[in-house]
Structure 1
Amino acid sequence: MNRLLPASALILLASTAAAVAAPPPFETPARVAYLIDLSSGAELLAKNSDTPMPPASMAKMMTSEVAFELIKANKLSLGKMCTVRPETWQKWHGPQAGSTMFLSPNEQVSVENLLHGIVTLSGNDASVVLAECIAGTEQAFASQMNTLAKRLGMSGSRFCNSNGWPDEGCTVVTARDLAKLARSSVENHPKLYKQFYGQPTFTWGKTLGSGQAITQANRNPILGKIPGADGLKTGHTEEAGYGFTGSAEQNGRRLIMVVAGLGSFNQRIEESTKLMSWGFNAWQSKPLFAANAAVGSAEVQLGDAATVPLVAPRAIAVTYPAGALGGDPKLRIAYQGPLKAPIAKGAQVAELVVTTPDGTIQRMPLVAGEAVEEAGFFGRLWLGLKQLVGMA
């Protein structure tokens, strides 16, 4: 059921006389392209964004995310030491094994260093070693990946290994799902995200013969090219082509992008940089509500309160084509109501639906500002009497 925002809670942008502009065009040779503005939830570009595709090494974002979740839950420590099984080393070393951290058989490596090896170096060996360290086998770890994917709403994705290595189509994702995964890393694990993503280089392993330390550069194509770029992960196989899931933040506005199916390393750099630049330059974001601001209220059924305040869990904005602010957006609160008690404080129970002057709809989550407990026996009796005599 849709509930209108109380007039006192409306905060509308100032009207202007400018005409509403159409969304700016963007053309890309990428088979798949997706761009979302997290400040508003607006999808700025969606090209084949729900088409299943092989993720290549972008699957390692989920490997890292499983580890992040376990660390957050105090079930895994960054200092835990993992052993490189000789069988794992044998399979995942040498030119035929793709990107590598240059691990050695029987080597002891911390979870922290393995995460650097996965995120910065895209090590196939590091991914499998971490998976085995956490779950015993890579297959068991893949089950954990799929459980988390389901919880994150990644309905178009399936993971069958920890590193995205071609597996006859068993592992598939969608661009929209990869953006959800990236968003989870950014918003649910900000400290770990900052610690591991966006590092320009990482050093591990030694060269044969001279024994010199091996330093490898992060392959992130927008790192150092787009202001505020700080993640996330590239991917490449013959089957998947060149892909990238990236993120950058400028002036409090964060964008997440996904491109896939590009034809070369250099084309990935060019298209990734162009898309992220377009997102920041061709679009603008205007604030609506600050984080934790009261937005409205929702009716509650059989609770110790008749209503629950709805607040913004983060800063909420509306996104327009640059220079095209032509009239006020229309705001309304939508929820399935009345809500049923009990309701936990901070639980997402509603959405703020923003309709821009050009008819585009942007949806942002709203959470309960206070807990509402179930009404006791006498409370329910009183509510029933109020409804019976038309007091409620």
Structure 2
Amino acid sequence: MRQRLLLALMLIGWFLAAPAEAFETAAKAAIIIDARTGVVLFEKNADQRLPPASMSKLMTAYMIFDRLKHGRLKLDDEITISEKAWKMGGSQMFLKVGDRVRVEDLIRGIIIMSGNDACVAMAEALAGSEEEFAREMTETARRIGLTNSTFANATGLDAPGHLMSVRDLATLARTIITEFPEYFKYYSEREFVYRNIKQQNRNPLIQANVPGADGMKTGYTEQSGYGLVGTAKRNDRRIIVVLAGLESINQRKTEGERLLEYGFREFQEYRLFQAGESVVDADVWLGAEAKVPLVPAKTVGVTLSHEARRGLSVKLRYGNPVPAPIEAGQQLGSLEISAPNMTTFSVPLVAGKDVPRAGLLGRVTSMVGYYVWGAS
């Protein structure tokens, strides 16, 4: 099999654009990511482990959503409220000892009201104790790729070892949006009423009616300062921003909006190939058909600043010819994508259809043609 580089596509910019403006934020740590591609658009101290306050309730919610998805929990299940949950200070849903409360109400209490009592009630129901639940949170965090997160409780209240990075928070937010779209809807609800007590969603992006804003979580303790995990979707594009260590509610609102607008304004996702779109037709060796299309299994796109777009490079690598039989979905090559200030990454290309081996006459004809004329 002869391996060779068949194509180097230099995608020169369609237009000239000014570079993205120099950008800074008052946050102690911050990150902006494109939700579909995961590309980092801006970061500051993104891997520093910091107290996350109530932003870590995203992990509490993930644990609940995961059980719902796998049928180990139902929205209509009722949870009995313990004395420990009732005694929780800070943000509350105002639960009472002995109450039996629906899981869906507790989810809204956690997400909209940021209820510490609701978090403890769910932790005890799912793991037997808050301590065991926190251990499971840390274990699950490692499994889903959160490398700088450890949990000591279900609430986010300051505690030794209860730490997360803003990169981990962004990864967690993206995971929830992707894996649990049916439950993500709770993050956009503006208010929730329980026991005739109405509480507003504390997300400043939602309360300020920022276009497309639909989540996710705020946080505050004296140790952590003010933080925000925010997201918005405009057309078919979603951006996630995370801020930590701000000094006031107003600063959190202002910086949250500013980072979100920066991400939408200065960067764009460029779709290179749609899922299933033929990138190239490879020659087939001894096959019933002479060619097989190489296609990406998923849409291939990259998010870049307007300036970096001018240096976007896509290289196609595959072996030619490809021996039959070939099964649809079989990986046969890859796209190597690079651009200024971006880590080069590779996208698999797979066979777009089955190609069985040719019959005896077809194989003989192909071999004679190949040795006389070579591959096309």
TM-score w.r.t. the length of structure 1 is 0.76
Please tell me the residue identity of whatever aligns with 1:24: E
Structure 2 residue aligned with 1:122: 114
CA distance in 1, matches of 2:56, 2:332: 31
Is 1:248 aligned with 2:232? yes
Residues 369, 56 of structure 1: alpha-carbon distance in 2 compared, 3 angstrom cutoff: farther
8 A contact 1:312–1:365 mirrored in 2: no
Corresponding residue for 1:331?
A: 314
Q: Cα–Cα, structure 1 residues 270 and 359, in superposed 2: closer, same or farther, change >3 Å? A: closer
Distance in 1 separating the partners of 2:333 and 2:125: 40
Unaligned runs of 5+ in 1: 206-212, 298-306, 336-344, 373-392
User: Per the alignment, do residues 152 and 271 of structure 1 end up closer, same or farther by CA in structure 2, a change over 3 Å counting?
Assistant: same
**Which one of the candidate residues 58, 69, 81 is aligned to 1:61?**
58
| 2:193 alignment counterpart | 203
Match of 1:361 among 322, 343, 349: 343
Quote the residue 1:187 is aligned against.
178
Quick one: distance in 2 between partners of 1:226 and 1:197?
14
Give the deviation of 1:24 after TM superposition.
2.6
Structure 1 residue 164 and structure 2 residue 147: aligned? Answer: no
Give, in whole Å, the separation in 2 of the partners of 1:243 and 1:311.
38
Contact persistence 1:42–1:362 (CA under 8 A): no
Change (3 A) 1:325 1:184: closer
TM-align CA RMSD = 3.4
Query: Corresponding residue for 2:368?
Result: none
Give how far 1:143 is off.
2.1
CA separation of 1:161 and 1:355: change in aligned 2, threshold 3 A: same
Question: What is the rounded CA distance, in whole Å, between the counterparts of 1:277 and 1:286 in structure 2?
Answer: 18
What's the % identity of the aligned pairs? 37
Instruction: Give the alignment of 1:213-224 within 5 angstroms.
Output: 213-223=196-206, 224=208
Whole-angstrom distance in 2 between the partners of 1:233 and 1:349: 43
Q: 2:245 aligns with which of 261, 265, 275?
A: 261
For residues 21 and 129 of structure 2, the distance between their equivalents in structure 1, rounded to whole angstroms, comes to 48
- Using the TM superposition, give the Cα deviation of residue 285 of structure 1 relative to its aligned residue in structure 2, in angstroms: 2.1
- Structure-1 separation of matches of 2:296 and 2:215: 29
Q: 1:131 to 1:366 in 2, by over 3 A?
A: farther
SS of structure 2 residue aligned to 1:197: helix
Aligned match of 2:220: 236
Cα separation, partners in 2 of 1:103 and 1:366, compared to 1, 3 Å: farther
The 1:355/1:133 distance shift into structure 2, 3 A limit, reads same
**Residue number in structure 1 paired with 2:83:** 86
Partner amino acid, structure 2, of 1:87:
K
Q: Deviations over 1:26-49 (max 9, x none)?
A: 221110110011333321111000
Which residue in the other structure is 1:177 paired with? 168
Does the Cα contact within 8 Å between 1:40 and 1:364 map onto a contact in 2?
no
Partner of 1:311 in structure 2? 296
1:124 maps to a residue whose letter is: N
What SS does the corresponding residue of 2:40 show, helix, strand or coil? strand
**From 84, 98, 102, the counterpart of 2:94:** 102
Cα distance in 2 between the residues matched to 1:140 and 1:334: 49
DSSP 3-state at the match of 1:222: helix
Greater radius of gyration (CA): 2
SS for the counterpart of 1:361 is strand
Separation of aligned partners in 1, 2:171 and 2:345: 15
Cα 1:18/1:370, change in 2 over 3 Å: closer
Candidates 127, 131, 153, aligned match of 2:145:
153
CA drift of 1:328 comes to 5.8
User: Structure 1 residue 233: deviation in Å?
Assistant: 0.6
Describe the superposition over 1:166-222 as per-residue Cα deviations: whole angstroms up to 9, x where unpaired: 113x1111111111100110111111112x1111001112xxxxxxx1110001111
Deviates more, 1:37-46 or 1:237-246: 37-46
1:18 is matched with which residue? Answer: 16
Distance 1:282 1:309 in 2: 33
Distance 2:333 2:91 in 1: 44
Structure 2 alignment gaps of length 5 or more: 282-291, 319-327, 355-376
Q: Does structure 2 retain, via aligned residues, the 8 Å contact 1:284–1:321? A: yes
Partner of 1:226: 210
**How many Å separate the matches in 1 of 2:331 and 2:79?**
38
Letter in 1 for 2:48: T
Partners of 2:91 and 2:334 lie apart in 1 by: 42
Residue of structure 1 equivalent to 2:258: 274
Whole-Å Cα distance in 1 between the matches of residues 65 and 333 of structure 2? 27
Aligned to 2:324: none
Residue of structure 1 in register with 2:365 after alignment? none
